[in-house]
Amino acid sequence: MNHPHPATGDRPLVLLDEHAHAWSPKTARARFREGLTGPTAGVAAGHTQANLISVPADWAYDMLLFCIRNPQPCPVLDVTDAGSWTTVLADGADLRTDLPRYRVWRDGEPVDEPTDVRAYWRDDLVTFLIGCSFTFEWALAAAGVPIRHVEQGRNVPMYVTSRRCRPAGRLHGPMVVSMRPVPPAHLSAAIRESSLLPAVHGSPVHCGDPSALGVADLERPDFGDAVEFEPDDIPVFWACGVTPQAAVMASRPPFALTHAPGQMFLTDARDDQYRVG
């Protein structure tokens, strides 16, 4: 089922401006710093988006090893020094304020979803920025692949699967996937274009019957929103950067900060910097 805001229940997201695709990453970050929230699919066209997770330094090696052992759901783009809230991926950005919404975790449970985590910040936090599949959606769209959740103004649906990640130290848990309905005529293009961007999850992990991933009902995503299929659409599943949050829930570290699913960090990097051919 969907995971609601811990304090206010099923509070609707604030939809982003219809012109958000034309924003620069700097403009997007400034708008988020001012309090704008909502899914970032389609924002700042051509720029790389990233998942975020911050863990105490004594958990950072476990997290790094978890990412190295599970590179498809957890492709690392940058790792900060302990206590740092800056990244080489975005000049002048503040990782504590410049995402639309965050999640605060204590002992594996979400306790808050603020738009600013400065009040929760700790000097021992190490932040991992992990590639996001929103990045390759521009390549899919350019190849003619429809992006249903963008068309419908929804967050991408994400599902916890029965596939287990390779554990690392104290961290373990299932792989999370994002799903996009794809018409059969566009399936080869979707596979080809995403495979050229391995730093943002690469090619799909599964196409077709969701039960092969242990997903029982596409209408009930674990994160994000259900999307409507067109006739003959095939569900296509990509590894998802919410996987570290599933590891937090399973492994229960004492503290962590993450992005709220679907509400990503906008970097200054261009998508084509991560294209491999």
Sign of CA dihedral 81, 68, 164, 265: positive
Q: Is 173 left (phi over 0), alpha (psi -120 to 50) or beta?
A: left
Contact 223, 242 (CB under 8 A): yes
**pLDDT number for residue 17:** 62
Residues 6+ apart with CB under 8 A from 266: 25, 28, 29, 32, 40, 43, 44, 47, 49, 90, 98
Burial class (CB in 10 A: 0-12, 13-18, 19+), 54: buried
Contact 269, 89 (CB under 8 A): yes
**pLDDT number for residue 169:** 97
Distance of alpha carbon 178 from alpha carbon 135, whole angstroms: 13
For the chain, domains (ranges, CATH) are: 22-134+252-272 (3.40.1640.10), 136-239 (3.30.2040.10)
**pLDDT number for residue 11:** 38
**pLDDT number for residue 272:** 87
**pLDDT number for residue 9:** 35
Q: Token pair of 214, please? A: 């242990």
**pLDDT number for residue 241:** 95
**pLDDT number for residue 21:** 85
Nearest one of 257, 70, 75, 242 to 169, comparing CA atoms = 70
pLDDT (tens digit, 0 to 9) for every residue of the chain, 277 residues total? 334 333 333 333 444 566 788 899 999 999 999 999 999 988 998 899 999 999 999 999 999 999 999 999 999 999 999 999 999 999 999 999 999 999 999 999 999 999 999 999 999 999 999 999 988 998 999 999 999 998 998 999 999 999 999 999 999 999 999 999 999 999 999 999 999 999 999 999 999 999 999 999 999 999 999 999 999 999 999 999 999 999 999 999 999 999 999 999 999 999 889 989 7
Is pTM beyond 0.85 here? yes
